[in-house]
Amino acid sequence: MTWRASVLTLFPAMFPGPLGQSLAGRALDTGVWSLDITQIRDFTQDRHKTVDDAPFGGGAGMVLRADIVDAAVASVADDRPVVCLSPRGRRFTQVDARRFAGDHGVILLCGRYEGIDQRVVDARAMQEFSIGDYVLSGGELAALVLLDSVVRLLPGVMGAAESATEESFSRGLLEYPHYTRPAEWQGRRVPDVLLSGHHGAVAAWRQAESERITRERRPDLWVSATAAQ
| Domain-embedded: residue 160 | no
Helix (H, G, I), strand (E, B) or coil at 5: strand
Query: In the predicted model, is pLDDT for residue 108 greater than 80?
Result: yes
What gap in Å lies between CA 8 and CA 208, rounded to an integer? 44
| Domain-embedded: residue 214 | yes
pLDDT tens digits along 132-144? 999 999 999 999 9
Residue 139 and residue 169 in contact, taking contact as beta carbons nearer than 8 Å: no
Per the structure, how many domains does the chain have?
A: 2
27: CATH:
3.40.1280.10
What gap in Å lies between CA 199 and CA 220, rounded to an integer? 30
For position 172, what pLDDT does the model report? 87
Do 142 and 34 have their domain in common?
yes
- Work out the pLDDT band at 171, boundaries 50, 70, 90: confident
Do 176 and 64 have their domain in common?
no
Q: What is the signed CA dihedral for 130, 15, 38, 95, rounded to 10 degrees?
A: -30
Amino acid at 211: E
pTM: 0.90
pLDDT tens digits along 204-224? 999 999 999 999 999 999 998
Q: Which domain holds residue 8?
A: 3-151
Domain boundary residue, one of 127, 151, 175 = 151
Q: Any idea what DSSP says for residue 206?
A: H
What gap in Å lies between CA 151 and CA 26, rounded to an integer? 11
Partnered with residue 7 across adjacent β-strands are: 37, 108
Helix (H, G, I), strand (E, B) or coil at 185: strand
Q: What is the mean pLDDT of residues 138-163?
A: 89
| Domain-embedded: residue 146 | yes
What gap in Å lies between CA 6 and CA 106, rounded to an integer? 6
The CB-side HSE value for 223 (13 A sphere, CA atoms) comes to 3
Do 128 and 219 have their domain in common?
no
What values do phi and psi take at 53, rounded to 5? -155, 170
Domain boundary residue, one of 126, 151, 176 = 151
